[in-house]
Amino acid sequence: MKIIHCDKALTSTGWQTNFEVGIDDDGTIGYAGSQKGVADARVDLLLPAPVNLHSHTFQRAMTGLTEMRGPASTDSFWTWRTLMYRFLDRLEPDHIEAIAALAFVEMLESGFGSVAEFHYVHHTAGGDPYAKMSELSDRIVAAAETTGIGLTLLPVYYEYGGCDRRPLTGGQRRFFCDFDRYGTLHEEATATIGNSLGDYRMGIAPHSLRAVDPDGLTRLMALQSDGPVHVHIAEQVAEVDEVKEHRGARPVEWLLSNHDVNEDWCLIHCTQMTSGETGNLAKSGAVAGLCPITESSLGDGIFNGVDYLAAGGRAGVGSDSNIHISMFDELKTLEYSQRLRDRSRAALATQDKSTGRIVFDAVAQAGAQAGKRPCGGIESGKLADLIGLSMDNHHIGHLQDDMVLDGLIFGGFGNQCISDVWSAGRHVIRDGRHDKRDQIIAAYRNVLADIAKDT
Protein backbone atom coordinates (compact mmCIF):
# COMPACT_ATOMS: atom_id res chain seq x y z
CA MET A 1 0.00 0.00 0.00
CA LYS A 2 1.27 3.46 -0.98
CA ILE A 3 0.62 6.01 1.76
CA ILE A 4 -0.01 9.75 1.44
CA HIS A 5 0.02 12.07 4.43
CA CYS A 6 -1.54 15.53 4.41
CA ASP A 7 -2.17 18.27 6.93
CA LYS A 8 -5.73 18.65 5.71
CA ALA A 9 -8.04 16.77 3.32
CA LEU A 10 -11.49 17.43 1.87
CA THR A 11 -13.33 14.14 2.37
CA SER A 12 -16.89 13.01 1.84
CA THR A 13 -17.62 13.96 5.45
CA GLY A 14 -15.90 17.35 5.33
CA TRP A 15 -12.48 18.74 6.16
CA GLN A 16 -10.14 16.45 8.10
CA THR A 17 -6.74 17.21 9.66
CA ASN A 18 -3.56 15.10 9.94
CA PHE A 19 -5.00 12.71 7.40
CA GLU A 20 -3.70 9.58 5.70
CA VAL A 21 -4.71 7.89 2.45
CA GLY A 22 -3.55 4.36 1.70
CA ILE A 23 -3.67 3.31 -1.97
CA ASP A 24 -3.95 -0.37 -2.88
CA ASP A 25 -2.22 -1.96 -5.86
CA ASP A 26 -5.39 -1.73 -7.95
CA GLY A 27 -5.42 2.07 -7.63
CA THR A 28 -8.29 2.27 -5.14
CA ILE A 29 -8.22 3.84 -1.71
CA GLY A 30 -7.88 1.06 0.84
CA TYR A 31 -7.68 3.30 3.89
CA ALA A 32 -8.62 6.91 4.60
CA GLY A 33 -8.30 8.18 8.15
CA SER A 34 -5.94 9.42 10.80
CA GLN A 35 -2.21 9.04 10.22
CA LYS A 36 -0.73 5.74 11.37
CA GLY A 37 1.76 4.57 8.71
CA VAL A 38 5.01 5.73 7.14
CA ALA A 39 4.30 8.10 4.26
CA ASP A 40 5.52 7.56 0.70
CA ALA A 41 4.40 11.09 -0.17
CA ARG A 42 3.32 14.15 1.77
CA VAL A 43 1.26 17.17 0.73
CA ASP A 44 -0.20 20.10 2.62
CA LEU A 45 -3.74 19.80 1.26
CA LEU A 46 -5.47 16.87 -0.47
CA LEU A 47 -8.55 17.14 -2.71
CA PRO A 48 -10.37 14.65 -4.93
CA ALA A 49 -9.37 15.16 -8.58
CA PRO A 50 -12.46 15.73 -10.76
CA VAL A 51 -13.20 14.11 -14.11
CA ASN A 52 -12.91 16.34 -17.17
CA LEU A 53 -16.23 15.19 -18.58
CA HIS A 54 -15.99 16.56 -22.13
CA SER A 55 -12.98 16.98 -24.39
CA HIS A 56 -12.05 17.06 -28.07
CA THR A 57 -8.26 16.88 -27.67
CA PHE A 58 -7.33 17.54 -31.31
CA GLN A 59 -8.74 21.06 -31.02
CA ARG A 60 -5.96 21.99 -28.56
CA ALA A 61 -3.73 22.73 -31.56
CA MET A 62 -6.29 25.25 -32.89
CA THR A 63 -5.63 27.73 -30.09
CA GLY A 64 -4.90 31.15 -31.58
CA LEU A 65 -6.06 30.23 -35.09
CA THR A 66 -9.71 31.31 -34.98
CA GLU A 67 -9.80 34.78 -33.43
CA MET A 68 -9.90 36.87 -36.63
CA ARG A 69 -13.15 38.30 -38.01
CA GLY A 70 -14.17 36.60 -41.25
CA PRO A 71 -15.91 38.18 -44.27
CA ALA A 72 -19.31 37.89 -42.60
CA SER A 73 -20.56 40.82 -40.56
CA THR A 74 -20.39 38.68 -37.42
CA ASP A 75 -18.55 35.52 -36.47
CA SER A 76 -20.31 32.71 -34.67
CA PHE A 77 -20.10 29.08 -33.63
CA TRP A 78 -20.94 28.14 -37.21
CA THR A 79 -18.10 30.13 -38.79
CA TRP A 80 -15.72 28.72 -36.15
CA ARG A 81 -16.90 25.22 -37.08
CA THR A 82 -15.97 25.78 -40.74
CA LEU A 83 -12.44 26.75 -39.70
CA MET A 84 -12.26 23.66 -37.48
CA TYR A 85 -13.09 21.39 -40.42
CA ARG A 86 -10.36 22.97 -42.55
CA PHE A 87 -7.83 22.53 -39.74
CA LEU A 88 -8.87 18.92 -39.24
CA ASP A 89 -8.03 18.02 -42.85
CA ARG A 90 -4.32 18.38 -42.03
CA LEU A 91 -4.17 15.92 -39.14
CA GLU A 92 -2.67 12.45 -39.45
CA PRO A 93 -2.83 9.71 -36.79
CA ASP A 94 0.58 10.61 -35.32
CA HIS A 95 -0.54 14.24 -35.04
CA ILE A 96 -3.76 13.31 -33.26
CA GLU A 97 -1.90 11.15 -30.72
CA ALA A 98 0.72 13.82 -30.02
CA ILE A 99 -1.88 16.57 -29.57
CA ALA A 100 -3.92 14.34 -27.26
CA ALA A 101 -0.86 13.60 -25.13
CA LEU A 102 -0.12 17.31 -24.76
CA ALA A 103 -3.72 18.05 -23.79
CA PHE A 104 -3.75 15.19 -21.29
CA VAL A 105 -0.58 16.46 -19.60
CA GLU A 106 -2.10 19.92 -19.27
CA MET A 107 -5.29 18.44 -17.84
CA LEU A 108 -3.37 16.54 -15.20
CA GLU A 109 -1.23 19.54 -14.32
CA SER A 110 -4.41 21.60 -13.87
CA GLY A 111 -6.01 19.11 -11.46
CA PHE A 112 -8.16 16.83 -13.60
CA GLY A 113 -7.55 13.18 -12.68
CA SER A 114 -9.28 11.68 -15.71
CA VAL A 115 -11.08 12.63 -18.91
CA ALA A 116 -14.13 11.59 -20.90
CA GLU A 117 -12.89 11.97 -24.48
CA PHE A 118 -15.77 12.65 -26.89
CA HIS A 119 -13.88 11.34 -29.89
CA TYR A 120 -15.46 11.92 -33.29
CA VAL A 121 -12.50 11.84 -35.72
CA HIS A 122 -12.54 8.30 -37.10
CA HIS A 123 -11.35 8.29 -40.73
CA THR A 124 -8.83 9.72 -43.19
CA ALA A 125 -9.09 13.30 -44.45
CA GLY A 126 -11.05 12.01 -47.45
CA GLY A 127 -13.46 10.08 -45.27
CA ASP A 128 -12.10 6.59 -45.98
CA PRO A 129 -11.81 4.15 -43.06
CA TYR A 130 -8.38 3.11 -41.85
CA ALA A 131 -7.43 -0.55 -42.15
CA LYS A 132 -8.48 -0.83 -38.51
CA MET A 133 -11.70 1.10 -37.91
CA SER A 134 -10.61 2.12 -34.42
CA GLU A 135 -7.18 3.43 -35.50
CA LEU A 136 -7.75 6.96 -34.19
CA SER A 137 -9.60 5.83 -31.07
CA ASP A 138 -6.60 3.60 -30.36
CA ARG A 139 -4.37 6.68 -30.65
CA ILE A 140 -6.39 8.40 -27.94
CA VAL A 141 -5.94 5.36 -25.69
CA ALA A 142 -2.19 5.33 -26.45
CA ALA A 143 -1.89 9.01 -25.50
CA ALA A 144 -3.77 8.36 -22.26
CA GLU A 145 -1.49 5.44 -21.39
CA THR A 146 1.61 7.54 -22.13
CA THR A 147 0.46 10.26 -19.74
CA GLY A 148 -1.27 8.07 -17.13
CA ILE A 149 -4.54 9.99 -17.16
CA GLY A 150 -7.74 8.10 -16.42
CA LEU A 151 -9.90 7.66 -19.50
CA THR A 152 -13.54 7.15 -20.43
CA LEU A 153 -13.50 6.75 -24.22
CA LEU A 154 -16.63 7.93 -26.02
CA PRO A 155 -16.49 7.06 -29.74
CA VAL A 156 -19.01 9.31 -31.47
CA TYR A 157 -21.83 8.16 -33.73
CA TYR A 158 -22.20 10.86 -36.39
CA GLU A 159 -24.25 9.92 -39.46
CA TYR A 160 -25.94 13.03 -40.87
CA GLY A 161 -25.25 16.71 -41.45
CA GLY A 162 -28.60 17.81 -40.08
CA CYS A 163 -32.08 16.75 -39.05
CA ASP A 164 -33.03 16.46 -42.74
CA ARG A 165 -30.54 13.55 -43.00
CA ARG A 166 -28.32 15.39 -45.47
CA PRO A 167 -24.98 13.62 -46.07
CA LEU A 168 -21.78 14.79 -44.42
CA THR A 169 -19.47 16.85 -46.62
CA GLY A 170 -15.97 18.31 -46.43
CA GLY A 171 -14.23 17.95 -43.10
CA GLN A 172 -17.27 16.21 -41.60
CA ARG A 173 -16.54 13.09 -43.67
CA ARG A 174 -13.89 12.12 -41.14
CA PHE A 175 -16.68 11.71 -38.58
CA PHE A 176 -19.10 9.57 -40.61
CA CYS A 177 -20.43 6.29 -39.27
CA ASP A 178 -23.55 4.43 -40.26
CA PHE A 179 -24.76 1.94 -37.68
CA ASP A 180 -22.80 -1.05 -39.03
CA ARG A 181 -19.57 0.92 -39.30
CA TYR A 182 -20.04 2.31 -35.81
CA GLY A 183 -20.67 -1.17 -34.44
CA THR A 184 -17.30 -2.32 -35.77
CA LEU A 185 -15.59 0.80 -34.45
CA HIS A 186 -17.11 0.40 -31.01
CA GLU A 187 -16.21 -3.30 -30.83
CA GLU A 188 -12.59 -2.68 -31.82
CA ALA A 189 -12.19 0.27 -29.45
CA THR A 190 -13.72 -1.75 -26.63
CA ALA A 191 -11.09 -4.45 -27.22
CA THR A 192 -8.35 -1.81 -27.08
CA ILE A 193 -9.72 -0.48 -23.79
CA GLY A 194 -9.86 -4.01 -22.44
CA ASN A 195 -6.13 -4.41 -23.06
CA SER A 196 -5.22 -1.05 -21.49
CA LEU A 197 -4.98 0.26 -17.94
CA GLY A 198 -7.52 -1.34 -15.64
CA ASP A 199 -9.41 1.85 -14.77
CA TYR A 200 -10.23 2.75 -18.40
CA ARG A 201 -13.87 2.63 -19.50
CA MET A 202 -16.02 2.73 -22.64
CA GLY A 203 -19.21 4.62 -23.38
CA ILE A 204 -21.27 5.68 -26.37
CA ALA A 205 -21.80 9.13 -27.79
CA PRO A 206 -24.53 10.06 -30.25
CA HIS A 207 -23.07 13.34 -31.47
CA SER A 208 -26.33 15.32 -31.39
CA LEU A 209 -29.96 15.16 -32.44
CA ARG A 210 -28.91 16.75 -35.73
CA ALA A 211 -26.31 14.08 -36.52
CA VAL A 212 -28.30 11.01 -35.43
CA ASP A 213 -31.90 10.36 -36.45
CA PRO A 214 -34.50 8.91 -34.04
CA ASP A 215 -34.15 5.34 -35.35
CA GLY A 216 -30.36 5.55 -35.18
CA LEU A 217 -30.46 6.76 -31.58
CA THR A 218 -32.75 3.89 -30.57
CA ARG A 219 -30.46 1.32 -32.22
CA LEU A 220 -27.39 2.92 -30.69
CA MET A 221 -28.74 2.48 -27.17
CA ALA A 222 -28.49 -1.29 -27.64
CA LEU A 223 -24.69 -0.88 -27.58
CA GLN A 224 -24.67 0.94 -24.25
CA SER A 225 -23.92 -2.03 -21.99
CA ASP A 226 -22.97 -0.50 -18.61
CA GLY A 227 -21.15 2.56 -19.97
CA PRO A 228 -22.25 6.20 -19.99
CA VAL A 229 -24.14 7.95 -22.79
CA HIS A 230 -22.98 11.45 -23.74
CA VAL A 231 -24.66 13.74 -26.28
CA HIS A 232 -24.27 17.35 -27.41
CA ILE A 233 -27.58 19.13 -26.90
CA ALA A 234 -29.13 22.61 -26.96
CA GLU A 235 -25.84 24.44 -27.50
CA GLN A 236 -26.97 26.98 -30.11
CA VAL A 237 -30.23 28.75 -31.00
CA ALA A 238 -30.02 27.54 -34.61
CA GLU A 239 -29.72 23.96 -33.35
CA VAL A 240 -32.82 24.36 -31.18
CA ASP A 241 -34.79 25.80 -34.10
CA GLU A 242 -33.73 22.99 -36.46
CA VAL A 243 -34.65 20.22 -34.02
CA LYS A 244 -37.97 21.87 -33.22
CA GLU A 245 -38.81 22.15 -36.92
CA HIS A 246 -38.04 18.49 -37.69
CA ARG A 247 -38.92 16.75 -34.39
CA GLY A 248 -41.73 18.97 -33.19
CA ALA A 249 -40.04 19.78 -29.88
CA ARG A 250 -36.97 21.49 -28.50
CA PRO A 251 -33.88 19.23 -28.12
CA VAL A 252 -33.95 18.67 -24.34
CA GLU A 253 -37.73 18.41 -24.36
CA TRP A 254 -37.66 15.83 -27.18
CA LEU A 255 -34.91 13.73 -25.60
CA LEU A 256 -36.57 13.61 -22.18
CA SER A 257 -39.88 12.64 -23.79
CA ASN A 258 -38.52 9.93 -26.08
CA HIS A 259 -35.74 8.23 -24.08
CA ASP A 260 -35.17 7.06 -20.55
CA VAL A 261 -32.72 9.80 -19.68
CA ASN A 262 -31.31 8.79 -16.31
CA GLU A 263 -28.10 8.62 -14.28
CA ASP A 264 -26.28 7.01 -17.20
CA TRP A 265 -26.64 10.11 -19.37
CA CYS A 266 -24.55 13.27 -19.67
CA LEU A 267 -26.07 16.10 -21.72
CA ILE A 268 -23.36 18.44 -22.96
CA HIS A 269 -23.84 22.23 -22.91
CA CYS A 270 -27.61 22.69 -22.36
CA THR A 271 -27.08 26.43 -22.75
CA GLN A 272 -30.43 26.90 -24.53
CA MET A 273 -33.03 25.53 -22.11
CA THR A 274 -36.37 26.82 -20.89
CA SER A 275 -37.14 26.89 -17.18
CA GLY A 276 -39.32 23.81 -17.63
CA GLU A 277 -36.52 21.90 -19.36
CA THR A 278 -34.12 22.98 -16.62
CA GLY A 279 -36.33 21.53 -13.92
CA ASN A 280 -37.11 18.34 -15.83
CA LEU A 281 -33.45 17.67 -16.57
CA ALA A 282 -32.62 18.14 -12.90
CA LYS A 283 -35.29 15.58 -11.97
CA SER A 284 -33.95 13.01 -14.46
CA GLY A 285 -30.74 12.35 -12.52
CA ALA A 286 -28.62 12.94 -15.62
CA VAL A 287 -25.53 15.15 -15.55
CA ALA A 288 -25.40 18.50 -17.31
CA GLY A 289 -21.93 18.60 -18.86
CA LEU A 290 -20.80 22.22 -18.85
CA CYS A 291 -17.76 23.65 -20.64
CA PRO A 292 -17.83 27.29 -19.51
CA ILE A 293 -14.59 28.44 -21.16
CA THR A 294 -15.50 26.96 -24.55
CA GLU A 295 -19.12 28.11 -24.24
CA SER A 296 -17.79 31.62 -23.63
CA SER A 297 -15.35 31.34 -26.55
CA LEU A 298 -18.05 30.19 -28.98
CA GLY A 299 -20.78 32.50 -27.72
CA ASP A 300 -23.04 29.58 -26.89
CA GLY A 301 -24.98 31.17 -24.08
CA ILE A 302 -25.22 30.79 -20.31
CA PHE A 303 -26.39 27.64 -18.57
CA ASN A 304 -29.14 28.20 -16.00
CA GLY A 305 -26.98 27.00 -13.14
CA VAL A 306 -28.73 28.75 -10.27
CA ASP A 307 -32.14 27.19 -10.87
CA TYR A 308 -30.67 23.85 -11.97
CA LEU A 309 -28.59 23.30 -8.83
CA ALA A 310 -31.41 24.60 -6.62
CA ALA A 311 -33.62 21.89 -8.16
CA GLY A 312 -31.08 19.22 -7.22
CA GLY A 313 -29.50 18.97 -10.67
CA ARG A 314 -26.07 17.44 -11.15
CA ALA A 315 -23.45 19.34 -13.15
CA GLY A 316 -19.81 18.77 -14.01
CA VAL A 317 -17.28 20.55 -16.21
CA GLY A 318 -15.13 19.72 -19.20
CA SER A 319 -12.57 21.51 -21.35
CA ASP A 320 -14.31 20.81 -24.72
CA SER A 321 -12.27 22.70 -27.37
CA ASN A 322 -9.29 22.86 -25.00
CA ILE A 323 -8.59 26.46 -25.99
CA HIS A 324 -7.46 26.92 -22.38
CA ILE A 325 -7.06 23.96 -20.02
CA SER A 326 -7.60 24.78 -16.36
CA MET A 327 -9.97 22.98 -14.02
CA PHE A 328 -10.12 25.88 -11.56
CA ASP A 329 -10.75 28.43 -14.33
CA GLU A 330 -13.66 26.35 -15.67
CA LEU A 331 -15.25 26.62 -12.23
CA LYS A 332 -14.58 30.36 -12.04
CA THR A 333 -16.10 30.95 -15.48
CA LEU A 334 -19.19 28.94 -14.53
CA GLU A 335 -19.84 31.06 -11.44
CA TYR A 336 -18.99 34.37 -13.13
CA SER A 337 -21.40 33.64 -16.00
CA GLN A 338 -24.21 33.37 -13.45
CA ARG A 339 -23.18 36.63 -11.81
CA LEU A 340 -23.06 38.50 -15.12
CA ARG A 341 -26.45 37.26 -16.22
CA ASP A 342 -28.17 37.96 -12.91
CA ARG A 343 -26.06 40.95 -11.79
CA SER A 344 -25.39 39.19 -8.51
CA ARG A 345 -22.56 37.85 -6.39
CA ALA A 346 -21.94 34.39 -4.94
CA ALA A 347 -24.67 33.13 -7.26
CA LEU A 348 -24.18 29.42 -6.60
CA ALA A 349 -23.28 29.68 -2.91
CA THR A 350 -25.64 28.67 -0.11
CA GLN A 351 -26.04 29.84 3.46
CA ASP A 352 -23.91 26.91 4.60
CA LYS A 353 -21.22 26.62 1.93
CA SER A 354 -19.16 29.08 -0.08
CA THR A 355 -19.24 29.31 -3.87
CA GLY A 356 -15.97 27.43 -4.22
CA ARG A 357 -17.12 24.57 -2.02
CA ILE A 358 -20.46 24.25 -3.81
CA VAL A 359 -19.02 24.15 -7.34
CA PHE A 360 -16.06 21.94 -6.43
CA ASP A 361 -18.21 19.36 -4.68
CA ALA A 362 -20.69 19.43 -7.55
CA VAL A 363 -18.15 18.82 -10.32
CA ALA A 364 -16.28 16.15 -8.35
CA GLN A 365 -19.43 14.11 -7.84
CA ALA A 366 -21.09 14.74 -11.20
CA GLY A 367 -17.86 14.15 -13.13
CA ALA A 368 -17.50 10.74 -11.53
CA GLN A 369 -21.06 9.90 -12.52
CA ALA A 370 -20.60 11.16 -16.08
CA GLY A 371 -17.42 9.14 -16.56
CA LYS A 372 -18.87 6.04 -14.86
CA ARG A 373 -15.69 6.22 -12.81
CA PRO A 374 -15.72 5.37 -9.08
CA CYS A 375 -13.92 8.52 -7.98
CA GLY A 376 -14.94 11.99 -6.82
CA GLY A 377 -14.28 11.54 -3.11
CA ILE A 378 -11.54 10.61 -0.65
CA GLU A 379 -12.93 7.45 0.91
CA SER A 380 -12.27 3.71 0.93
CA GLY A 381 -13.22 1.93 -2.27
CA LYS A 382 -12.94 4.99 -4.52
CA LEU A 383 -10.25 5.26 -7.16
CA ALA A 384 -7.32 7.32 -5.88
CA ASP A 385 -7.82 10.33 -8.16
CA LEU A 386 -6.26 13.01 -5.97
CA ILE A 387 -4.84 16.53 -6.07
CA GLY A 388 -2.05 17.53 -3.70
CA LEU A 389 -1.57 21.26 -3.08
CA SER A 390 1.10 23.31 -1.40
CA MET A 391 -0.02 25.86 1.18
CA ASP A 392 3.51 27.27 1.45
CA ASN A 393 2.80 30.34 -0.67
CA HIS A 394 1.35 33.82 -0.39
CA HIS A 395 -1.76 32.91 -2.38
CA ILE A 396 -3.59 30.47 -0.10
CA GLY A 397 -1.31 30.00 2.91
CA HIS A 398 -3.48 32.24 5.09
CA LEU A 399 -6.82 30.68 4.09
CA GLN A 400 -8.78 27.96 5.88
CA ASP A 401 -11.14 25.21 4.73
CA ASP A 402 -13.73 26.33 2.14
CA MET A 403 -11.93 29.66 1.68
CA VAL A 404 -8.98 27.73 0.27
CA LEU A 405 -11.23 26.51 -2.55
CA ASP A 406 -12.49 30.06 -3.09
CA GLY A 407 -8.92 31.30 -3.35
CA LEU A 408 -7.86 28.53 -5.75
CA ILE A 409 -10.84 29.13 -8.03
CA PHE A 410 -11.20 32.90 -8.02
CA GLY A 411 -7.61 34.03 -7.42
CA GLY A 412 -6.30 32.87 -10.80
CA PHE A 413 -3.38 30.99 -9.26
CA GLY A 414 -4.88 27.57 -8.61
CA ASN A 415 -2.59 25.72 -11.03
CA GLN A 416 0.47 27.27 -9.36
CA CYS A 417 -0.47 25.65 -6.06
CA ILE A 418 -0.82 22.11 -7.42
CA SER A 419 2.15 20.03 -6.37
CA ASP A 420 0.96 16.47 -7.04
CA VAL A 421 -1.75 14.58 -8.88
CA TRP A 422 -2.63 10.89 -8.70
CA SER A 423 -4.83 9.10 -11.23
CA ALA A 424 -6.04 5.70 -10.01
CA GLY A 425 -3.03 5.76 -7.70
CA ARG A 426 -0.56 6.60 -10.47
CA HIS A 427 1.60 9.48 -9.24
CA VAL A 428 1.51 11.41 -12.53
CA ILE A 429 2.35 14.94 -11.36
CA ARG A 430 5.21 15.71 -8.99
CA ASP A 431 6.36 19.22 -8.07
CA GLY A 432 3.70 20.56 -10.44
CA ARG A 433 5.07 18.83 -13.54
CA HIS A 434 4.48 15.69 -15.53
CA ASP A 435 7.65 13.62 -15.81
CA LYS A 436 7.19 13.22 -19.60
CA ARG A 437 6.33 16.87 -20.15
CA ASP A 438 9.45 17.79 -22.14
CA GLN A 439 9.26 14.93 -24.62
CA ILE A 440 5.52 15.38 -25.10
CA ILE A 441 5.94 19.09 -25.77
CA ALA A 442 8.72 18.34 -28.26
CA ALA A 443 6.42 15.96 -30.15
CA TYR A 444 3.64 18.56 -30.09
CA ARG A 445 5.95 21.20 -31.54
CA ASN A 446 6.76 18.83 -34.38
CA VAL A 447 3.05 18.53 -35.07
CA LEU A 448 2.67 22.31 -35.25
CA ALA A 449 5.62 22.46 -37.67
CA ASP A 450 4.03 19.79 -39.88
CA ILE A 451 0.69 21.59 -39.91
CA ALA A 452 2.38 24.91 -40.74
CA LYS A 453 3.84 23.37 -43.91
CA ASP A 454 0.34 23.03 -45.32
CA THR A 455 -0.79 26.58 -44.62
The CA distances from residue 45 to 29, 90, 107, 355, in Å, are 17, 43, 19, 19
CA–CA separation, 38 and 91 (whole Å): 48
232 is catalytic: no
The torsion angles phi and psi of 82, rounded to 5 degrees, stand at -65, -40
Name residues whose C-beta falls within 8 Å of residue 354's C-beta, 6 or more positions apart in sequence: 346, 402, 403, 405, 406
Alpha helices in 229-354 (DSSP H): 237-247, 251-258, 275-284, 292-297, 305-310, 327-342
| 57: amino acid identity, one letter | T
Strands 29-34 and 41-48, sheet pairing: unpaired
Residue whose C-alpha is closest to residue 380's, from 40, 4, 11: 11
Could you give the count of Cα atoms lying within 13 Å of 280 in the half-sphere of its Cβ? 15
Residues 291 and 240: their CA atoms lie apart, in Å, by: 18
Q: Is 128 a catalytic residue?
A: no
Distance (Å, rounded) from C-alpha 74 to C-alpha 125?
A: 29
Q: Which of 95, 232, 269, 427 is catalytic?
A: 269
Selected catalytic residue, list 138, 264, 300, 320: 320
Active site residues: 269, 320
